[in-house]
Chain A
């Protein structure tokens, strides 16, 4: 290990820390949860109501649970179940993604389609 290595590690940790703080304090708890499959909005649900959404698409099934203003995926039939292992999300912009099922669960502020380059 040389001195330059330590500097690199410090820089990486510093950037990670700064980004983490910015992301954490820079965003608030969201109002809605947007469910997208294949980049198309499947549904937008309010975060205020506790509910369970069973998402059945051509790609597979995911169970999305909204509870206490947080969202999590409790079950899925994808092979790696990374979405299930993901921690709960609650802040605007946070998302849980199931790649095999092309599913993106995002916390948003408004009940409107995200303005995104989609040409």
Chain B
């Protein structure tokens, strides 16, 4: 493409819109695990792909914007706070572990687990209650499962993008 800046903006917009759409899709699914805060985290597929195809700052931008957008649209102030805490922590961990011996799926699992743990921690702090610790085991397992799912979905997408260099800016 001739204009690299236009291409950059388009790719960003596309990925953000995709993450937003996935968040919306997820909110329609009647999943109930009996414990609050358990989601499939489909939008995280976009974040993981971003981590593996874009520069750290670009991926961070995607992560933050999608949390902000979905949080403002579908949630309230408190859910936004929890999402930010979990999302930011999760992103940093994933970025750091990218260079480790973990595969993309392993990094995704680590990201999901930290995302949940971060949300739980902030929820406990804001609500002044230590009772949230009872959710800990369930959220860990849910994180492992959803992280695995997210990783499995993001891997082929990442491979294709990197092969065609469509997303590399």
Contacts and interface: CB of A to CB of B under 8 A. Distances in A.
- Contact residues of B: prevailing secondary structure: helix
Nearest to A40: B128
Nearest to B36: A82
Given A12-B144, A13-B141, A17-B137, A4 B35 contact: no
B130 interface: yes
Given A8-B106, A86-B36, A39 B141 contact: no
Interface residues of A, number: 33
Contact of B105 (A5, A16, A85, A116): A5
B26 to A, nearest CB: 13
A39 B36 contact: no
Given A95-B132, A100-B76, A118-B128, A5 B137 contact: no
B45 interface: no
Contacts of B78: 99-100
A95 B134 contact: yes
A91 B134 CA distance: 10
A5 to B, nearest CB: 4
B149 interface: no
A19 interface: yes
B127 A104 contact: yes
Nearest to A99: B78
Nearest to B82: A99
B133 A93 contact: yes
B166 interface: no
Interface of B: 32, 34-36, 76, 78-79, 100-103, 105-106, 109-110, 113, 123, 127-134, 136-138, 140-141, 143-144, 148
Given A8-B102, A93-B134, A97-B129, 7 more contacts: A4-B103, A5-B109, A12-B140, A16-B137, A17-B137, A86-B35, A95-B134
